[in-house]
Each structure stands twice: as structure tokens, then as C-alpha cells.
Amino acid sequence: MWRARARRVPLHAVVVGLCLLWLVPAVGLLVSSFRPPRLAAISGWWSALAPPYQFTLENYRAVLSAYNMERSFLNSLIITIPATVIPIMVAAYAAYAFAWMRFRGREPLFTLVVGSLVIPLQMTLIPVLRLFTAFKLVGTFPAVWLAHAGYGLPFAIYLLRNFMGALPRDVLESASIDGARPLAVFFGLVLPLSIPAMASLAIFQFLWVWNDLLVALIYVGGTPAVAPMTVTISNLVNSLGQNWQLLSAAAFISMALPMVVFFALQQFFVRGILAGAIKG
């Protein structure tokens, strides 16, 4: 027993070392966001960890009040929440059909959905932009909702279909024998049992949409009324290139909510991803 644990010590040391290595940039960003401008300009963030400690909240006040970050944070929420919920809801229906319903062309259609995962997102930007322009959706929230829903659906359907296909057949067949209709089986059994996979998918989709710059920049642009935080921060890089402390504060504001979402749903993360990846 002790020998087995001793063999794992190097592996654990490597894992802990990698975690610490990944934490260093985040810690540096957090410390820099609280440093006064004069100190941030003449010394590295690590020097702030030694006394005398000099920290301030002025960077966050300046970013939130003077650089439209409050509105951008709200815009990011308005974009991210529907763009996360819509593809998960649509993918759940499609995954249930692919996993448990029999219809003509099911396998070729599912192969087509999975094959769309390899299509580069950049190839679709101009055609979709022209379509949105024709419908006068460019520069509006629905444009980003529809774009992210379309880009996220193939992976969402693939993940949920594999998870739902691994659910116990006896349970679903028993419900059907008892007279439950397909929708009743879907809402009463399949959805509750698929919560781990849907939570994992929600983490992926939320983080992708929240941190997205390209799609938002193409379909929404830099209009302050609808611009998310990624667009606003990219504009701040050009106007505040020397003010590292303000950029750090803006970046950490952008990071805070995704971290909360990830840690809140992490109990479902590994279970949902493994089940959706290796079963089907």
C-alpha cells in the first residue's frame, strides 16, 4: 500500500506543479488589478506581495465608471445566457431523436451533423453575415444568439446523443409499455438523467460565448449599446496600452463570472464529459 502511494508521488508532484504554473498568470493579473498606477509602471506584480502592501480599488472604479464596462458586462450576460440555453434545448430534442427514435435517414443525418464539427468557423462568417444583413439583424442581439446557437449545435448534439444513448434501455421501454408518450418519456426520464451531460455542455458553451471576440465583432460590431466585454476590452488595449493596471482590472472582471460558473457546475463536469465521449 505504501509502495503504491510512493509511486504516485512523482505524478502528484507534476500535477501540482502544472496547476501552480497555470495559476501564476491569474494571480499576477489579480495582483496587478489592485496596484496603483505609479507602482505598476516601475515594478513587477510580484513586488506587491512583499510589505509594505499598497493596493487600491481605483482601477476597478475607473474601469466600471469611465470605460463603459458596466454596460458591456450586462451586454455579455444578455448575449451569453440565451446563446447557451438555446443550443442546449434544441440539441436535447435532437439528441433524443437520434438516440431513441427510429426514422429514415437517421444515421446519415447524424453523420452529417458530426461532420459539420470539422468545418472552420471562419468559412461561415461572410455567408452568415450576408444573410443577417438581408434580414437586418446585424448589430442586434438576435444575430449573436443565432450565430452561437448554430456554431454550438453540432458538438451539443454529438455529446448529448452519446450520453442519452447510454441510458438504461429497460427504464425507457418500461415507461413506453406503461403508456408514456415520447414527450413524456423525454421530459420525465431522459432530461433528468441527462443533467450531468447538459451541465458539462453548459460550461463549454457559456465559456465559449462569454470569451468570444470574433463572432461578436463580426455580427455585432463595436457599438457600445450592444458590444460585449471582449469587444470593449479589445478597444481598451488600443486606448490604454500603457495602463496595465486598468487592463488587468477589466480582464479580471471578465474572468470572474466564468470562474463562478465553472466551479458551481464542476461536480457534473467530468461525469458528463466522460459519459458523452466514450459511450454511444
Per-residue cell: 32: 496587478
Per-residue pLDDT of 247-272, as tens digits, reads 788 888 888 888 888 777 777 666 65
Residue 52, preceding peptide bond in cis (omega within 30° of 0): yes
C-alpha span between 179 and 215 (Å, rounded): 46
Is residue 278 scored above 60 in pLDDT? no
Per-residue pLDDT of 50-100, as tens digits, reads 787 788 888 888 887 767 788 888 899 999 999 999 999 999 999 988 988
For the chain, where do the domains classified as CATH 1.10.3720.10 start and end? Answer: 63-278
Is residue 121 scored above 80 in pLDDT? yes
**Does the reported pTM lie above 0.85?**
no
Per-residue cell: 7: 509511486
Please check whether residue 28 is in contact with residue 40, taking contact to mean a CB–CB distance below 8 angstroms: no
CA of 98: how far to CAs of 148, 235, 271, in Å? 22, 43, 21
Give me the CATH code for the 63-278 domain, please: 1.10.3720.10
Per-residue pLDDT of 181-210, as tens digits, reads 878 888 888 888 888 888 888 888 998 999
Q: What is the pLDDT of residue 279?
A: 45
